[in-house]
Amino acid sequence: MPELDAAKEAAARAAAGLVESGMRLGLGTGSTTAIALREIARRIREEGLDVVGVATSAAAEHLARQTGIPLCTLDDVDHLDLALDGADEVDPELNLIKGRGAAHTREKVIARCAKRFVVLVDESKFVEQLGTRAAVPVEVLPMAVRPVERELVRLGATVELRNGSRKDGPVVTDQGFWILDARFDHIEKPSELDVLIKCIPGVLDHGIFVGMATDVFVGEAGGTLRRITATR
């Protein structure tokens, strides 16, 4: 859809404009963030922008190498100046659901390491309450799938093992784990659900991000942009 493309472009280009020479960046995953990474790569080629990035996924790493963004790891830096990433849902308090690309665990680590975590979305991702449209991805040890599923059902979720679209069998994350998609009717208290899911044995992490985003750039129809900054 042209309106959606324009919205993504607006958010991505505004976020890429935050990047300055000397920065250490977190490079996120997803279609909107990919536009931002290509814009950063263009600035490296054409403006001599001097940056280095840590990728949140194999896909982000591949795109960075393909476009010419220098990479490092978290072993090489003690912090990141700026992390750019997308989200599946954003609520008015700037809590997030992430993980449609199954990279949410690494995304959360990198977001925590960043002084500024900027989330790029189109307006369809902005919701009044988390869980309105998106399931919560839960990254699970393969041998713990059934026990974790039972615990998630007790918390009120409808649970489905995520299967690959281009191959038989479950989606396997970069860590070798599987994904359970837990759909809740609504999530009244994201901070409480965050802790409850994380405490289930066999769970590596999940896609609820509470209090981590410092800014959200919302691309709107026609290419206009709304910027929201956390007040906490």
**pLDDT digit string, tens, across residues 81-93:** 999 999 999 999 9
Query: According to the model, what pLDDT value does residue 46 have?
Result: 96
Query: According to the model, what pLDDT value does residue 186 have?
Result: 84
Asked whether residue 4 carries a pLDDT value surpassing 90, the answer given is no
Distance from the Cα of residue 152 to its chain's centroid: 22
Query: According to the model, what pLDDT value does residue 2 have?
Result: 62
Residue 40, C-beta contacts closer than 8 angstroms, at least 6 positions apart = 16, 19, 25, 49, 51, 69
Phi, psi (deg, nearest 5) at residue 95: -75, 155
Closest CA to 29 of 122, 94, 105, 127: 105
Query: According to the model, what pLDDT value does residue 25 have?
Result: 98
Yes or no: say if 19 and 26 are a contact pair by the CB < 8 Å rule.
no
Q: For tokens 């472009």, what's the residue?
A: 9
Model pTM above 0.95: no
Q: How confident is the model at residue 95 (pLDDT cuts 50, 70, 90)?
A: very high
Q: How confident is the model at residue 167 (pLDDT cuts 50, 70, 90)?
A: low
Asked whether residue 35 carries a pLDDT value surpassing 70, the answer given is yes
Closest CA to 208 of 113, 115, 127, 94: 94
Angle formed by the axes of helices 2-16 and 31-47, nearest 10°: 50
Do 136-204 and 2-127+211-222 fall under one CATH topology?
A: no
Yes or no: say if 121 and 86 are a contact pair by the CB < 8 Å rule.
yes
Q: For tokens 């990919």, what's the residue?
A: 34
Pick the CATH number of 136-204 from 3.90.25.10, 3.40.50.720, 3.40.50.1000, 3.30.70.260: 3.30.70.260
Domain 2-127+211-222 has CATH 3.40.50.1360: yes
Phi, psi (deg, nearest 5) at residue 214: -90, -30
> What is the number of other CB atoms lying within 10 angstroms of the CB of residue 157?
23
Residue 123 backbone class (left: φ over 0; alpha: ψ -120 to 50; beta: rest): alpha
| Cα atoms found within 13 Å of the Cα of residue 36, Cβ hemisphere only | 33
Asked whether residue 127 carries a pLDDT value surpassing 80, the answer given is yes
Cα separation of the two ends of the chain: 35
- The domain locations on the chain are 2-127+211-222, 136-204
Asked whether residue 175 carries a pLDDT value surpassing 60, the answer given is yes
Annotated active-site positions, please?
107
Residue 164, C-beta contacts closer than 8 angstroms, at least 6 positions apart = 170, 171
